[in-house]
Chain A
Amino acid sequence: MDKATLLFVDDELHILNALNWLFRKQYKVLLANSGEEAIELLKQHPVDVLVSDQRMPGMTGIDVLREARKVRPETLRILLTGYSDFKAIVGSVNEGEVFRFIQKPWDNAKIREIVAEAVEVARSTADAARKAEEAATHAPDTATEAERIGVMVLDEDDSITESITATIKSRHPVVVANSLEKAIEVLESQKIGVLISETQVGQTDVTALVKLLKQFHPEIVTVVVTGHNDAELVINLINEGQIYRFLPKPVKPGICKINVEAALRKHRQLAENPDLRIRHIVDKDAFLKKLGITHVAELTGGAETSAETAPKGFFSNLMARLRGLRTQTAN
């Protein structure tokens, strides 16, 4: 197998040099001094992983990601950010479907790890991604198909739950959960394909659940709709929760509809191409290790989790562990 190809985009030559020195031994490295140059390179060469700076004159990082998605959908996209500009971050999630954020200044070991992971994911799913993207662009909206997708809305905000329910109720079953407990109960008893979630319900932070879900059910597509507009939060939700969309409140019903439809299509794509799921997974073992769990079976009393439904008690046990961990850190 030949070397994987990386493409780095930054207007600062010193950054390109540093990244080149860092990766040239293991990978074939392409360097672009601007977004326009990057898109040209992308058209000429197959690229596994694209790493772009956000703040550049001319095309910004989001523009590069958006264009790259069109030119080479199979290329995994990583955004390099220094200045945490909320709008840019949200744009890169919703328009650029960014795989990870790397914050400047980076740690060499960490950036190598993220890039290695991205390369692995990209290489193992490139064909599937290409095909799926083609299928998605050519296929009509298949919402009326027989297969129904379970949608869970985890929010207390009635306007959101109502607008979503109204949009898709006729085609897909919608469950509204207004507490973490209710959400866990639903997850353990029903098959859910799309999760539309706030980051905070009542006084409870539910981002842990969002992240947790992605660890074990990468086929569940998450749309976060929240009033907490914080760039760090988005970065965290992407890097650890692989959320599909981030919609800052207030959300216009039209925008909400488009994104929920997109999430439904995405879920169908993932359900049909199990190979693609790896593109939406975060390191499960590392995550469990953080919780002090060596094997998943510890939580389920011997039963293995499947992609379909989690065994009873799995999520509640995991959440309990997670909370225990929080309290420890707090102390």
Chain B
Amino acid sequence: MKFKLVRFFVLTSIVFFFLTVGSLSFLQQKVAVNNLIDTAQANHVDLTKAFSNSLWDDFRPFMAETRGLSREALQNHPKQAELYQKVQHMLKGLTVLKVKVYNSDGLTIFSTQKSQIGDDKSQNGGFLSAMKGQPISELTHRDSFSAFDEVVEERDVISSYVPIYEKAGGQPVGVFEIYSDMTGLLANVTQTQYTVVGGVAGLVLLLFLSQFFAIRHADRTIEQQEREASRAKLQLAQQEKMASLGQMVAGVAHELNTPLAFSRSNIELIGEALNQLQPAMQWGHKLVEEVKQQPEKGRLKLSFRAPELRREAADYDPDLLPEEVGEVVNQTLAGLEQMAELVRNLKDFTRIDRAKVAHYEMNKGLDNVLYIAKSVIHTAIQIDKDYEDNLPRITCMPSQINQVFINLIQNAAQAVDPENGHITVRTRADGDRVRIEVEDNGSGIREDDLPHIFESFYTTKAPGEGTGLGLSIVKEIVDQHGGEIQVQSTVGEGTTFTVWLPVEAQVDNNVAQAA
């Protein structure tokens, strides 16, 4: 599938967009909430200090008195109401919703929520942490929460366990648990989060749009350039085809010229000779007629007169003797046959039909190509055929396959030394394919050039001598036929191009024959 730049960009950008905005929002929220918790905890620690400073005188004896008391006894302790009054007084106006006090055994000796007094929290993580001197806080959302005088709903609450010290540097003597209402602050955090995310999303969107337009423009430019390049390549390929066609036409014209020259000369000669032979033919004719009239036996009586005969004979000097005329005619016919054969080959070679043809005989096709190629390449180059008989037939577009091999043979002819150039065309059956080799003893291809020779526009020929499209077209055609092409070359020794083409399927064969 073709790579679509714009689509790729949009998809990756959207993924990136959500990842960025999402993680940014998450991070921002986390940091803000952590800050909130830290602040609240610091407040709670301060509050605890204030609490121990002002109320410890009340709580210390209470703590000692209540040690070992039962839950009911604790809840109904006469000092509870007094303590509640003092705590409420102290915390009035703050966001604190609830306060609990634990003794060092984890027993709840005081709570602003009376029902919780007497609860054992000795195994609670928060309590244990605070007893080790480490205050700890957590943020939770409560659907409903019992505050001092009322029950509040839908609140975000931070609770902290804070150790109580009797003197600085000593062991905690108890734990203070404070609940603060954070709903308003948390709403602020969320609000900030929305603003930040919105702003970032907007910026990223702007960035995306500007990139989108730039990339779409780039994509269109590239596409246009590609179209132009492929059009230029097509045009060049067409030009090269025309140039090689022109060369071929010139070669074929020359090839036609030779038989044309002697046939024409012979016919002119026969025409003249027939005129010159006129007397002989007339006299001979007359003689034969007279002989026919005479009796079959006995002396012939002829009406020829000596002076007349002598006069005719004196001027009689034909360029051709009667018995030679037949040979001149025969040679002329041979010339006509040569021309006919050339035209036949040309017709086979330049089949205009672009359709695939079944039962194509590779050996015959190569003969055809070689016949045409010989008119284009240097006459001294020796071309050998090494065909395997009964080669399986193939299905192909003959005009295209012809182009492949005329290209390879022409290349070979250009690579060899005209004086002792040698080209071998070999065919072999090779499994379910037909293998065709075009081997030359030419200059070879440099190792650096070998990997590139099938690339478009790659040429080692001088500028103007080749477009570098010949072999790329060859490869394209072979690929289209489901074939394969390979090259082996040694500089100074020669080059072999090997083409494999698939044999036509047996089933196809039967179907075609049945039809």
Cβ contacts under 8 Å, B268 to chain A: 107-108
Instruction: Give the Cβ gap from A181 to chain B, nearest Cβ, in Å.
Output: 38
Among A15, A25, A56, A57, point to the contact of B261 (Cβ < 8 A).
A15
User: Contact check: which of B258, B328, B380 meets A15 at CB < 8 Å?
Assistant: B258
**A80's closest neighbor in chain B, by CB?**
B261
**CB of B253 closer than 8 Å to a CB of A:** yes
Which DSSP category, helix, strand, loop or mixed, fits chain A's interface?
loop
Is the CB–CB distance between A82 and B319 below 8 Å?
A: no
Q: Which residues of B contact A111 (CB under 8 A)?
A: 265
Q: Once the chains bind, are A104 and B319 in contact (CB under 8 Å)? A: no
Partner of A14, one of B253, B262, B317, B319: B262
Closest B residue to A16 using CB positions: B262
Q: Is the interface of B mostly helix, strand, loop or mixed?
A: helix
**Quick check: is B254 within 8 A (CB to CB) of the other chain?**
yes
A105 with B265: in contact, given A18-B331, A58-B380 (CB under 8 Å)? Answer: yes
Chain B, 254-271, CB within 8 A of any chain A CB: 254, 257-262, 264-266, 268-269
B334 at interface by CB-CB < 8 Å? yes
- Contact A21–B320 (Cβ < 8 Å): yes
B266 touches A21 (CB 8 A): yes
**Is the pair B261, A83 in contact by a Cβ cutoff of 8 Å?**
no
CB of B250 closer than 8 Å to a CB of A: yes
A residues in contact with B334, CB < 8 Å = 14
Closest chain B CB from A32 CB (angstroms): 16
Pick the most buried of A14, A83, A106, A108: most chain B CB atoms within 10 A of its CB.
A14
A-B contact pairs, 22 of them (CB 8 A): A14-B258, A14-B335, A15-B262, A18-B266, A18-B269, A21-B319, A21-B320, A55-B254, A55-B379, A56-B379, A57-B380, A82-B254, A82-B258, A83-B250, A83-B257, A104-B261, A105-B257, A105-B260, A105-B264, A105-B265, A106-B264, A106-B265
Q: In the complex, are the beta carbons of A82 and B380 less than 8 A apart?
A: no
Residues of A within 8 A of B (CB): 11-12, 14-15, 17-19, 21-22, 25, 55-58, 82-83, 104-108, 111
CB distance from B338 to the nearest CB of A (A): 8
Residues of chain B having any CB pair with chain A under 8 Å: 250-251, 253-254, 257-262, 264-266, 268-269, 272, 317, 319-320, 324, 328, 331, 334-335, 379-380
CB distance from B332 to the nearest CB of A (A): 9
Which residues of A sit under 8 angstroms from B257, Cβ to Cβ? Answer: 82-83, 104-105
Closest approach, in angstroms, between the C-beta of A57 and any C-beta of chain B? 4
Name the one of A18, A56, A58, A107 contacting B262, with C-beta atoms under 8 angstroms: A18
Q: A21-B319, A21-B328 are in contact. Are A12 and B262 (CB under 8 A)?
A: yes
| Contact (Cβ within 8 A) A22 B380 | no
Most central of B262, B317, B320, B380 by chain A CB within 10 Å: B262
Chain A residues with Cβ under 8 A from B253's Cβ?
A: 82-83
Interface-centre pick from A21, A104, A111 (highest chain B CB count, 10 A): A21
A/B pair count, beta carbons within 8 Å: 66
Q: Are B331 and A17 in contact (CB under 8 A)?
A: yes
Chain B, Cβ-Cβ closest to A54: B254
Query: Are A82 and B261 CB-contacts (below 8 A) given A21-B269, A21-B328, A22-B269?
Result: yes
Closest residue of chain B to A26 (Cβ to Cβ) is B319
Min CB gap A55→B, angstroms: 6
B residues near A104, Cβ cutoff 8 Å: 257-258, 260-261
Q: Which 3 A-B pairs have the closest CB atoms?
A: A82-B257, A83-B254, A105-B261
Residue ID in chain A nearest B272 by CB atoms: A108
Is A22 touching B265 in the complex (CB atoms < 8 A)? Answer: yes
Residue numbers in B under 8 Å from A57 (CB-CB):
379-380
Question: Closest residue of chain A to B334, judged by CB?
Answer: A14
How long is the Cα–Cα vector from A11 to B272 in the complex, in angstroms?
26
Within 8 Å by CB of A108, from B269, B335, B379, lies B269
Report chain B residues within 8 Å CB of A22: 265, 269, 319
Given A25-B319, A55-B254, A82-B254, answer yes or no on A14-B259 (Cβ-Cβ < 8 Å).
Answer: yes
Within the complex, the shortest CB–CB distance from A36 to chain B, in Å, comes to 12
Cβ contacts under 8 Å, A83 to chain B:
250-251, 253-254, 257
**What residues of chain B lie closer than 8 Å to A55, measured between beta carbons?**
254, 379
Most buried by A among B264, B265, B272, B328: B265
- Residues of chain B lying within 8 A (CB to CB) of residue A19: 265
Measured CB to CB, the closest approach of chain A to B463, in angstroms, equals: 17
Q: Please give, as numbers and ranges, the residues of chain B lying within 8 Å of A14 by CB-CB distance.
A: 258-259, 262, 331, 334-335
Closest to B260 in A: A105
User: B266 contacts which chain A residues (CB < 8 A)?
Assistant: 18, 21
Closest chain B residue, CB of each to CB of A84: B250
The residue on A at minimum CB distance from B269 is: A21
The residue of chain A having its C-beta at the shortest distance from the C-beta of B256 within the complex is A82
Which of B264, B272, B317, B324 gathers most chain A CB within 10 Å?
B264
Measured in the bound complex, the distance between the Cα atoms of B328 and A111 in whole Å is: 19
Q: What residues of A have a CB within 8 angstroms of the CB of B335 in the complex?
A: 14
In the bound assembly, the distance between CA atoms of A106 and B268 in angstroms comes to: 11
Across-interface contacts of A21 in B (CB, < 8 A): 266, 269, 319-320, 324, 328
Q: State how many angstroms separate the Cβ of A34 from the closest Cβ of chain B.
A: 11
Apart from A25-B319, A82-B261: 16 A-B pairs, beta carbons within 8 A: A14-B259, A15-B258, A18-B331, A21-B324, A22-B265, A55-B379, A56-B379, A57-B379, A82-B257, A83-B257, A104-B260, A105-B257, A105-B261, A105-B264, A105-B265, A106-B261
B403 to chain A, nearest CB (A): 23
Rounded to whole Å, the gap between the CB of A160 and the closest CB of chain B is 24
Closest partner residue, chain B, to A21 (CB atom): B269
Instruction: Compute how far the CA of A306 lies from the CA of B379 in the bound complex, rounded to whole angstroms.
Output: 49
- In the assembly, what is the distance between CA of A17 and CA of B330, in Å? 12
Q: Which residues of B contact A15 (CB under 8 A)?
A: 258, 261-262
- B254 A18 Cβ-Cβ under 8 A: no
Find the B residue at minimum CB distance from A11: B379
Which of A18, A105, A108 is the most central at the interface, judged by chain B CB atoms within 10 Å of its CB? A18
In the bound assembly, the distance between CA atoms of A58 and B380 in angstroms comes to 6
CB distance from B178 to the nearest CB of A (A): 105
Contacts of A12 in B (CB 8 A): 258, 262
**CB nearest neighbor in B for A25:** B319
A57→B268 CA distance, assembly (Å):
29
Q: Which residues of B contact A106 (CB under 8 A)?
A: 261, 264-265
Bound-complex Cα distance A82 to B328 (A): 22
Give the CA-CA distance A2 to B257 in the complex, in Å: 34
CA distance in complex: A83, B250 (Å): 7
Distance in angstroms between the alpha carbons of A106 and B253 in the assembled complex: 15
Name the residue on A nearest B327 (C-beta). A17
Chain A residues with CB under 8 Å of B251's CB are: 83
Least CB separation from B257: chain A residue: A82
A263 to B331, CA, bound (A): 45
Q: Tell me the bound Cα distance from A96 to B124 in angstroms.
A: 120
Residue of B nearest to A56 (CB): B379
B261 contacts across to A, CB distance below 8 A: 15, 18, 82, 104-106
Q: How far is B269's CA from A107's CA once the two chains are assembled, in angstroms?
A: 11
Shortest B333–chain A CB gap in Å is: 11
Whether A18 and B265, one on each chain, are in contact in the complex, defined by CB atoms closer than 8 angstroms, is yes
Q: Which residues of A contact B260 (CB under 8 A)?
A: 104-105
